[in-house]
Amino acid sequence: MSNNNHFVAPVEETPLQATDSLKTDQAPLSLWADAWRKLRRRPLFIVSSLMILFLLFVAFFPGVFTSVDPGSCQLSNSEAGPRPGHPFGFTLQGCDVFARVIHGTQASLAVGVLSVICVLVIGVTLGALAGYYGGWLDAVLARLGDIFFALPLILGALVITQLPLFRENKSVWTVVFVISMLAWPQMARITRGAVIEVRNADFVTAARSLGVSRFGALVRHVLPNALAPVIVLATLELGVFIVAEATLSFLGIGLPPGVMSWGNDISSANASIRTTPSILLYPAGALSITVLSFIMLGDAVRDALDPKSRQR
């Protein structure tokens, strides 16, 4: 092309297309369908979800894996090594370690899942209301959250569980209650932030001017669009809560000794750590693997729901 020439490309090279024509070659994709499509190709997601499915199976059907009663302990077996039928050996009290690890899954998962549900209900409700309505409601709820936020989990749990009401009724539910009480502000903060980001979006204004009520717009448009970070946090927190339960049980203020849990087992294995460390290793290993799978799942979900990676 020289300086003053008027260059025209042959039309055949770049055939003219209809202005702004719709691409119809791909299947429609919602946010969730898109996320699922991305997730199912991620090894991280596949591995972690298989592990979680396996853990759930163990929790619901412990009988499939062991027929030994974890509660029937014979002191004659105290700290005995592995032998056929008892692959992990015995505790100080002579209980079968394998059976206790298997049966402990239930309590750990139950505390994790129930706490996350409670935290979601409290945190999302308060966070969404605070973020959406703002004003004095926001101020009050934010300060309330700060009060709980300032309490370290363990310290707060120590104080709450020493209350007579809790001391005398230790159960899975008290642990769930204590964890939820102290952990909801985190969820509320994340929800509040996400809701504030979405509440000024044009589509919310559009919905309002269509006649949707203020609360209706929150439920129909704002919350569904603010859920992604909440879901990510929930998966990550599931792991954290399982650890919290183990910590509380280890300190003797969590689940009552009668309930089979990894935390209780780790606690009682403390006594024999110098002689037979394997008693400690097995429940601790189970705990680590469980927490790791939930954190891996959380990471995978976060990547899949990242709005920046959405097309266009």
Partner 1 sequence: MNTVRIDEAGTAKDRPILEIKDLAITFTTSAGEFKAVKNAHLSIMPGETVAIVGESGSGKSTTALAAIGLLPGNGRVTGGQILLDGEDIAHASEKRMIELRGSHIGMVPQDPMSNLNPVWKIGYQVRETLKANGRPDGPDDVARVLAEAGLPDAHRRARQYPHEFSGGMRQRALIAIGLSCSPKLLIADEPTSALDVTVQRKILDHLDKMTTELGTSVLLITHDLGLAAERADKVVVMYQGNVVEAGPSLELLQNPQHPYTRRLVESAPSLASRRIQSAKEQGVEAEDLLAPAAEGTSRDEVLQVRNLRKIYKLRQGLGKSSDFAAVDDVSFSVRRGTTTAIVGESGSGKSTVAKMVLQLEAPTEGQIIFDGVDTAGLKGRELFTFRRRVQPIFQDPYGSLDPMYNIYRTIEEPLRIHKIGNAASREKKVRELLEQVALPQSTMQRYPNELSGGQRQRVAIARALALDPEVIICDEAVSALDVLVQAQVLNLLTELQGRLGLTYLFITHDLAVVRQIADHVCVMEKGKLVETGTTDDVFEAPQQEYTMALLNAIPGASLMLPPAVA
* Cβ pair 273, 214 in contact under 8 A: no
Name the one range near partner 1 by CB under 8 A: 23-31, 111-119, 177-185, 244-252: 23-31
Q: Which amino acid does the sequence have at 184? A: W
Q: Any idea what the Cα angle at residue 102 is, between residues 62 and 259, rounded to 5°?
A: 95
Q: State the nearest-atom distance from the C-beta of 214 to partner 1, in Å.
A: 11
- Map the footprint of partner 1 across residues 179-208, applying CB under 8 A: 201-203, 205-208
147 binds partner 1 (CB under 8 A): no
Total binding residues toward partner 1, as defined by CB under 8 A:
42
Inter-residue contact 73 to 91 (CB < 8 Å): yes
Which residues does residue 86 pair with via DSSP β-bridges, in sequence order?
Answer: 83
Q: Is residue 135 involved in binding partner 1 (CB under 8 A)?
A: no
Half-sphere CA count of 287, side-chain side, radius 13 A = 27
**Is 159 one of the binding residues for partner 1 (CB under 8 A)?**
no
Of 170 and 221, CB closest to partner 1: 221
**Is the CB of 37 or the CB of 83 nearer to partner 1?**
37
- Rule CB under 8 A: choose which of 84, 165, 168, 209 binds partner 1: 209
**Residue among 16, 101, 21, 12 nearest 55 (CA):** 101
Binding segment for partner 1 (CB under 8 A), chosen from 86-94, 100-108, 217-225, 281-289, is 217-225
Taking each helix axis from N to C end, the angle separating 223-250 and 97-133, rounded to the nearest 10 degrees, works out to 140
Q: Which uninterrupted H or E stretch holds 285? A: helix 278-305
Which of 12, 20, 135, 274 touches partner 1 by CB under 8 A?
20
- Residue 181 sits at φ, ψ, to 5 deg, of -55, -40
Least separation in angstroms between residue 176's CB and partner 1 is 31
Q: Using CA atoms, how far apart are residues 245 and 266, in angstroms rounded to an integer?
A: 12
Q: Does 80 bind partner 1 (CB under 8 A)?
A: no
Out of 71, 82, 85, 224, the residue judged to bind partner 1 by CB under 8 A: 224
Residue numbers of the site for partner 1 (CB under 8 A)?
1, 3-9, 11, 13-14, 16-17, 19-20, 22-24, 26, 28-31, 34, 201-203, 205-212, 216, 221, 224-225, 310-312
